[in-house]
């Protein structure tokens, strides 16, 4: 049963995990590593990480590590660049 307290703890852990990945670009963790880092039971940690994969904050590699999804800012046309990408003269 989900209680308001457990919901709050879950949200706090999700924010903490997101914060760690934002503060350390390139951070890559397995479930076991993340579980030790955050003092979280392995199954619960796996669920937290999976929920961050679902919202496209994290990506799970083929090796089982979780990494932050990097987003590039939308590109805007540059006034000095022609439509085909060449520099205008």
pLDDT digits (tens, 9 = 90+) for 4-43: 776 788 899 999 999 999 999 899 999 999 999 999 999 9
Provide the pLDDT confidence category of residue 89 given band limits of 50, 70 and 90: very low
- Alpha carbon distance 31, 42 (integer Å): 7
Q: How far is CA 45 from CA 37, 38, 58, 68, 72, in A?
A: 10, 8, 13, 16, 28
The dihedral sign for the CA sequence 33, 39, 2, 28: negative
* Residue 21 near residue 32, CB atoms below 8 Å: no
Look at residue 48 in the predicted model and tell me its pLDDT.
96
pLDDT in tens, 44-65: 999 999 999 999 999 999 999 9
pLDDT digits (tens, 9 = 90+) for 58-84: 999 999 999 999 875 565 665 554 455
b/e string for 56-80 if b means 16 or more Cβ within 10 A?
A: ebbeeeeeebbebeeeeeeeeeeee
The answer, as to whether pTM is greater than 0.75, is no
Q: Are 70 and 76 in contact (CB under 8 A)?
A: no
């Amino acid at each position: 049963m989900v209680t308001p307290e457990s919901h709050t703890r879950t949200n706090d852990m999700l924010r903490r995990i997101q914060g760690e990945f934002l503060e350390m670009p390139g951070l890559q963790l397995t479930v076991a590593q993340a579980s030790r880092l955050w003092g979280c039971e392995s199954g619960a940690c796996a669920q937290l990480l999976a929920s961050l994969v679902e919202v496209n904050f994290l990506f799970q590699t083929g090796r089982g590590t979780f990494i932050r999804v990097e987003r590039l800012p939308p590109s805007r046309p540059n006034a000095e660049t022609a439509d085909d990408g060449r520099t205008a003269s």
